[in-house]
A and B are shown apart, each in its own frame.
Chain A
């Protein structure tokens, strides 16, 4: 192992020889997608593969706790830091300290703002804006004659929400779809259902399309639509992002209309990058993880058998 001249985690790693200590500043339990993503990372950086992964999830998705964890890894002197930031801004100082301590940092999922590529090795992530844009493009194509739509958002102010909104609007382009409401359903199925139920009533069921920013809310919306006596796919189309197994299943069952994957499985890529970074090799500053779109029940059925998350 290259980079680290003073080995971190002196006691923690001592028993197992020359393990590379990796500090993973993670997000922690948030939903199906995050669960799959972090498990994938943990399953990749195993002791067998020569790594000692230190997993540090955020408390309450709070950026402050992530900064604390990051600082602690730097102080401890780990060999590499993987950073899944909850928020893009506010990382400069922390990254500069890591640089001073000669600890390479690899961003997973979320980038940083301002995007100073000299502060980190690379960012490995699917592209939120791009994924949402594809949803928008699909919607624009599905509704050439326009129609009314609502958006179910995550909590106001969260980075993903802003990005997925941005991408979606871009994708819609000059489509004649009309946004009649956007409400937060806090990423939750139950709230997705409750909010949709009320929005359908307040618009006399005159809604043709629902964009749910994650699978969970979309699944809730789907139930509300059915309970209102409407049919998903014919009366109302529902598109979601993430591509968890539950959602793919629902798509296969005709309960959703479109699911865009936001691919969480990039552990192997990360492993590669870590190796290269420690060997001092050059890597691209942004590695986009490809994500698939599922736009029909058939596509979903085909994907179901080996869906990992």
Chain B
């Protein structure tokens, strides 16, 4: 449709990292007025291509032409000067400064007396308003926001800069549906104004909803460029993974509805578990071999509740019983000793140890549990590492490579391996599939089902309601840092059922939080806590 010259044209781009060819002769074009999706599995080289374009990495060979001129940027600032604005995959903001400053940093409005803060904050508010964030106080420190909100701020920042090219690397990975809609609205407006948008996401729905054209990468190689409407999902996925997808068609077929008997003794039983300002007192039972989903909107307190169970934050009220014994979990180390494992949603800050190798990262929790005086013998290490690299399909399969050199999705798999190596009774997975490609997502979902089958209890937290509904036997619904109900999964339960519970709770008066939720049997949650306060 665009017969004019592309605004960005990359030819034969190659980048080699120690031991990996991250990009191998990749071509890419981007036209004005289009949303162009860059597709590929984890580690395919999407983020690397973006960093090559914006000068974060030097290229080994190839050429980059922007607006008809051969360019080699020497960093983001260069690229910005040439009209390319980027939101990288990792949220890149500075938490010590205010929200407004983060939006405007480097573009502050200046007056005769240096930066005009009033005008700068006003401009920031304007930028935020476009994404529906007009309620944010731009003077608050960025650190007061959740990761998701920070992601929105990062996007606002990219949009505040009047750019000809806008690059968004997985901007939606932690956004909820409404926020994604808002983002798409703005993206369409920009596209219609002639901005060229490069978009990366692992959500196929989103790709089909927003993109005009897409480029597929596989293992650092160029597969092809297609018009989105001419390529159906099946074909796209085949192109991404390089083979036909029988395995993937099974996705969604393995819904787990076999309810446990209620009288079976729970593995973990929390009563009135809470923490001031973070989680309202909550009752929770998790039985052997059961997958319990935590559902709720962003910021509803799912992560916080999970962190209490794991001792990552200290509960200030309530008790937790483990196999009928009251256990005092004061720290992750305590939890681990009691066979509870927790995979964090914040992979970069709380998950990986960047400079250590895949092997070291994988055995770390098991080692911590055993204590430093009992090192895991080399042979056992090899067994563990080889096993989980193979089972979880970690790529590259080299255990001695620093984990920081792996793509995000593969880092996630290594971390999953870390927890499985400790053979926990209860495994808490917080957003394990965030930012993960279809193939890997299926791998992980498969693994969860398999583990539960083998008798492990799993708490599964995800912003994708379908995924929660598909995997969980029981769904705990949270809202405003409070458990508002529980849904026993069944054939008639859908994502909509969960949404209904949440919506219904909003309608009820706040005074009574013990309401019945439709779509499943709801349990009173606050009863114990109220007794305590009396």
A and B in direct contact, judged by CB atoms within 8 A:
no
What is the interface of chain B, defined by CB distance below 8 A to chain A? none
